[in-house]
Structure 1
Amino acid sequence: MQYSSIPPGYLTTALAAKACGVEPATIRDWVRRGLLHRAAGTPRHPLYVVDAVTAAKLAAKPTRPGQRASR
């Protein structure tokens, strides 16, 4: 499903990833970890609030045992 128009103040997963300079899988990982929450859309095509995406980008990311060091 492609949105014909996105409501102001919202981003799709792809647009949120592009805005943060990360891959879409990273946005989905932030959702899974609880750093970012879906605000609208459907479970398959979520929308995120711009301010929440920015806050998630700046949030300290939890580390896991055995996690590779960032470059």
Structure 2
Amino acid sequence: MEYLLPPLGTLTTSMAAMSAGVQPATIRDWVRRGLLTRCGGSPKRPIYRLEDVEAARSATKPSRPNQRKTAAA
């Protein structure tokens, strides 16, 4: 089931990506890595709590050795 408007306080994958300023693939990656959990929806159309998306966005991400740093503009 695809939501035109998900329940209040929740976001679809696309909406969560826009809210966090990332790509939808990043949202799916956060779920895979355990930084974000689904709160409902279907396996193909999950929804996420707004608070969980914000917490995942601000969570400290593990750094890898030799990870490329982006230059500040």
TM-score grouping bracket, smaller chain normalisation: 0.7 to 0.9
State the distance in 2 between where 1:44 and 1:70 align: 34
Kindly state the Cα deviation for residue 64 of structure 1 after the two structures are TM-superposed.
Answer: 4.2
Structure 1 segment 1-71 matched on structure 2, within 5 A: 1-64=1-64, 68-71=67-70
Encode CA deviations 1:5-42: one digit per residue, 9 max, x unaligned: 31000000000000011000000000000000000101
Q: Secondary structure at the match of 2:6?
A: coil
Instruction: Using structure 2 for the length normalisation, give the TM-score.
Output: 0.84
Kindly state the Cα deviation for residue 3 of structure 1 after the two structures are TM-superposed.
Answer: 1.1
Q: In percent, how many aligned pairs have the same letter? A: 53
Count of residues in Structure 1 that have an aligned counterpart in Structure 2: 70
- Which sections of structure 1, spanning at least 5 residues, go unmatched? none
Instruction: Using structure 1 for the length normalisation, give the TM-score.
Output: 0.87
Coordinate RMSD, CA, aligned = 1.6
Kindly state the Cα deviation for residue 56 of structure 1 after the two structures are TM-superposed.
Answer: 0.1
- Which sections of structure 2, spanning at least 5 residues, go unmatched? none
Larger C-alpha radius of gyration, 1 or 2?
A: 2
